Amino acid sequence: MNRREFLAAGSAIAAASALPSFALADDKTITVFSSSDNNIIDFWNNTVIPAFTKANPGLKVKLASGGDENGVRAIADRALAALKSKTDPQVDAFENFDARLPAGAAEAGLWVSFSAENIPNYGRINPQAQNLKQELPYRGSQVLLAYDKTKLDPKDAPKTWEQLVAWIKKNPGQFIYNRPDKGGSGGNFVRRAIHEVNGRDPSKFTISNYSADFAEKSLMPAWAALKDLAPFLYEKGAYTSGNTQSIQLLSQGVVTMVPVWSDQVLQAISQGVLPETTGLVQLTDLALCGGFARMTVFSNGANKDAALKLGNFLLTTEMQSAIITQIGGFPGVSWDHISTDLREKYKDVVPNSIPTFPGGDWNSAINDGWYRNVATGLARG
């Protein structure tokens, strides 16, 4: 390369980096942030994005991990500020988010309202999963109990909360759940305890009926119930620091039963992290909480239309089948839109209903309350 070529190339590179919007004019890159675990990020990078870019030449997807829910919430805060000042939020969609956040965003029109007009596949969505117009539920998972079949006969596996508590107390040291803020499996186990002491009625809790008084009244009995359980847990009240560590303790044969995410445990079994002798059971009086991952699209994003195309693509039969076979999730669409053999194969794992627990202020009330009331005063070794 002679000097003139070098200068030409150098200035071209400088120009390209100085004007990113020009460079992307005919090759759009959709920026998506995810708050999900690594298995979902891998699923997107290895399956969703290659299939989408193949079907839509000229479109690219950049998926970044926002860490956790609070991480992407901070990005949503900034996008809301950008909406008010009419600037580019530099983000087009979230892989999984609650459109009720940040406060006032939905009213201000931060999120695109989905309908059959902008998402042709919208009608396929499972009515049970539908919630807000601004959310596109495309995959689901639920917390259930995983246990070691060599130590616990499947016919003796607990089916109700009462049986579960009785089993934990009869088998001290054989159960552990993770800290509620560090992963949804322990978090939803804690929320199931809150449901239990409040009449097993998930509709009692909504994002808007939070008040300090109501939280105090409804959460204190749950802390008492969980504290009562603590001496019978692993190490008389130890709590792992995440979903993965719970699965690790189950796989090392340290404990007999842990709460797990359905998709994570199915993946762990298929990869051999957990043995074939791992049993799964769901409580039948009221299931442990779960939920759908809901994609949200920014109305002020630079690539809104492309992001809507991506949303539509997630609801195709191809992607929905991949969600079942590759990550062990539930489809976001009704089962009529899934191939018959898959429907037959997975009919046992598919829930009839998925109870949910609202986020928002409840999250901090539950996290703080649990640490202060349940985790303290342990007998330490």
Partner 1 sequence: MGRGLKGLLLIAIPVFLVGWLIIYPIFAAILSTLFFDGPEGLRFSTASYQFFISDPYSRANLALTLWTTGMCAVLLLIVGLPIALYLRFSTNRFADLVQSLAIFPMFVPSIILSYALIRTIGPNGTVDILLNAVGLPKIKSPYLTPWGPVIGLVWDHLPLTVLMLTAGLGSISNSAIEAARDVGAGPLRVFWHIILPRMGNSILVTVSFTILGIFSAFTLPYVLGPASPEMMGPFMLRTFNALYDPLNAKTQAVISFAFCLFFGIFYVWSIARNQKGQSR
Interface residues with partner 1 (CB under 8 A)?
Answer: 68, 70, 179, 181, 234-235, 238-242, 245, 248-249, 252-254, 363-364, 367-368, 371-372, 375-376, 378, 380-381
Nearer to partner 1, 176 or 307 (CB): 176
Least distance from partner 1 to the Cβ atom of residue 204, Å: 23
Question: Hey, what's the torsion of the CAs at 248, 380, 161, 68, to 10 degrees?
Answer: -50
Least distance from partner 1 to the Cβ atom of residue 240, Å: 7
Least distance from partner 1 to the Cβ atom of residue 126, Å: 31
Three-state SS annotation for 87-98: CCCCCCEECCCC
Nearer to partner 1, 244 or 282 (CB): 244
d(CA 115, CA 133): 7
Q: Which two tokens stand for residue 52?
A: 């989408």
Nearer to partner 1, 197 or 230 (CB): 230
Q: Please name the amino acid found at residue 302.
A: A
Asked if 331 and 345 count as a contact pair (C-beta separation under 8 A), the reply is no
Nearer to partner 1, 238 or 281 (CB): 238
Least distance from partner 1 to the Cβ atom of residue 148, Å: 12
Least distance from partner 1 to the Cβ atom of residue 195, Å: 21
Q: Which two tokens stand for residue 133?
A: 């117009």
Q: How many Cα neighbours within 13 Å face the side chain of 22?
A: 8
**Residues composing the chain:** 381
Nearer to partner 1, 172 or 253 (CB): 253
d(CA 372, CA 64): 34
Least distance from partner 1 to the Cβ atom of residue 361, Å: 9
Q: What distances in angstroms separate CA 195 from CA 74, 155, 288, 305, one per listed residue? A: 29, 25, 9, 40
Which DSSP string corresponds to 224-286? HHHHHHGGGSGGGT--BSSHHHHHHHHHTTS-SEEEEEHHHHHHHHHTTSS-TTEEEE--SSS
d(CA 301, CA 347): 39
Which DSSP string corresponds to 333-370? B-GGGS-HHHHHHTTTTS-S-------THHHHHHHHHH
Least distance from partner 1 to the Cβ atom of residue 62, Å: 24
Nearer to partner 1, 130 or 367 (CB): 367
Nearer to partner 1, 161 or 239 (CB): 239
Least distance from partner 1 to the Cβ atom of residue 367, Å: 5
Nearer to partner 1, 185 or 300 (CB): 185
